[in-house]
Chains A and B, each alone.
Chain A
Amino acid sequence: MIKYLLAFPILALVVIIQTAIAARMQLLSGSADLMLVVLAAWALQEEVETSWHWAVLGGLMIGLVSGAPIAATMLGYLSVVGLARLVLRRVWELPILAMFLVTFIGTLLFQTITYVALVASGSSIPVDEGFSLVVLPSVLLNLLIALPVSVVMRDLALWMYPMEEVK
């Protein structure tokens, strides 16, 4: 039970850091998505069973804070976790490469879903501007934070799922 409840304070902290710090550090118009990288790193931990719950909770929290449609945020994070679990199921031997791959493709996927949702809700964002000013810089920033976040989430997974529980 505690494994499920622990998601609340951790993801709340992620939302705070995301909105207060990460969103302020911009490259062109892009910014790092800490929640996305945290969820990807968490889902890539073999012993973790709660990654889908984390994705729903994280999507809900960010959706409430953000001006983006909540359904898009939720769908975006669920897609990232789905991608991570898919990569994990392929028995990837290099977890760091898996992390970078999921962060790269996951960011593109998430931003595409957000873009489509925003355009559908009436925003007029040119595709080329959105891609060059937002998506690409965001991918780069997410890749930059992927490694340290992955290490932290690995430690958290080892703490929450001690080795004797690992199959």
Chain B
Amino acid sequence: MKNLRSRSVQTAILFLVVTGILVLALSGYFSPVTNIFGGSLIGLQTWVSTRYLAITDFLTVPRDVAALRQQNAGYVAEIARLQAQVIELQNKVAQTDTLAALVDFSRSNPTNSYKAAAVIGRDSSPFLKYVIINRGSNDGIRQGMPVVTNQGLVGRVDAVISGASRVQLITDPSSLVSVFLQNSEADAIMKGSVSGELALEMLSQDAKVQAGDVVLTSGLGGEYPPDLLIGQVGNIRKRESDLFQEATVQPVVDFSRLEIVLVIVNFRPIDISPLVPDQSP
């Protein structure tokens, strides 16, 4: 009985002590103590947490690198695919632009009939300036027909087979074109060369030629129709001792980048050789 009473007293005292501590703690009397202990615990917690995260990172980073590498490879492949697509589309745009320019050109010159052809090759001999086009006699192409682009004169058909033709460029060393200088109203002969440069010969000393004069086909000789644009006069060499002036021509056509050309199919060259007097003794 005595034990029972003493245990009840102990419980009551313990309850009062705990209640007292709680009351004191809730009242803020323990703040300095809790601050000290709390701060230390938080510091410890932070240290442990940081170390844990560092270890976790250390263990998981290789896996992330592999994943990133895989992702990067995917992006690289995607970029390559898109770049290829961009190049393909740029080519299509360039081709469409060229075709549109050629259509505009043929519309602006309704007197001529044109047949478009792609340049598929060049002459194997570097001495010669010929190109091969993918249209031949099956498409109505005949020898001697003039070939142009939307910019100007390219040359004339030199040889034809059923599915292809060989075109002699005006830059070929054996090419001679009768030309007319629009501003100075002078006639001359334009000649090609091995280097691809164009030169004017038989240009009268009286002609007042200036750099920048427009050079057109004259139609003389019957090999080309008149008024096809060729280029502009570049350097002029005029010496009193010479019979004729000499000049270079800057062509409007970029012969190194010929891709699509137009053959004037309704023009047939005229052979005037029987009309030329025989000069042999």
A binds B: yes
User: Which A residues lie at the B interface, using CB under 8 A?
Assistant: 15-16, 18-20, 22-24, 26, 28-31, 33, 35, 62, 65-68, 73, 111, 114-115, 118, 121-126, 129-130, 133-134, 137-138
Given A29-B196, A66-B125, A123-B174; 15 other pairs, CB 8 A cutoff: A19-B121, A22-B124, A23-B122, A29-B194, A30-B126, A31-B126, A62-B124, A66-B124, A66-B128, A66-B130, A67-B166, A118-B128, A133-B194, A134-B127, A134-B194
B158 contacts the other chain (CB 8 A): yes
Q: Which of B125, B159, B174 has the most A CB atoms < 10 Å from its CB?
A: B125
Residues B123-167 near A (CB distance < 8 A): 123-128, 130, 132, 158-159, 166
Nearest-neighbour CB distance to chain B for A13, whole angstroms, equals: 13
**Residues of A contacting B196 with CB < 8 Å?**
29
Whether the pair B194, A23 counts as a contact (CB closer than 8 A) is: no
> Is there contact, CB below 8 Å, between B124 and A26?
no
Instruction: Choose from B121, B158, B172, B174 the contact partner of A23 (Cβ within 8 Å).
Output: B121
Chain A interface helix/strand/loop/mixed: helix
Bound complex: CA of A114 vs CA of B256, how far in Å?
Answer: 23
Say if the beta carbon of B232 comes within 8 Å of chain A.
no
Residues of B in contact, count (CB < 8 Å) = 23
Say whether B72 faces chain A, with CB atoms less than 8 Å apart: no
Of A19, A121, A122, the contact of B124 (CB 8 Å cutoff): A19
Asked if B168 is an interface residue, CB under 8 A from chain A, the answer is: yes
A-B contact count (CB 8 A): 88
* Residue among B121, B159, B168, B172 making CB contact with A20, cutoff 8 Å: B121
Is B83 an interface residue when CB atoms closer than 8 A count as contact? no
- Judged by a CB distance under 8 angstroms, whether B173 is at the interface is yes
* Smallest beta-carbon distance B134→chain A, Å: 11
Please state if A134 and B126 are interface contacts (CB–CB under 8 Å).
yes
What are 6 A-B pairs at a CB distance below 8 A?
A15-B124, A19-B124, A29-B194, A29-B195, A118-B173, A138-B126
Interface residues of B in 233-252 (CB under 8 A from A): none
User: How near does chain B come to A20, taking the closest CB pair, in angstroms?
Assistant: 5
Would you call B168 and A67 a contact (CB within 8 A)?
yes
User: Which residue of the partner chain, among B122, B127, B158, contacts A24 with CB atoms under 8 Å?
Assistant: B122
Candidate in A16, A65, A134 with the most chain B CB atoms within 10 angstroms: A65
Q: Is the CB of A23 within 8 A of B124?
A: yes
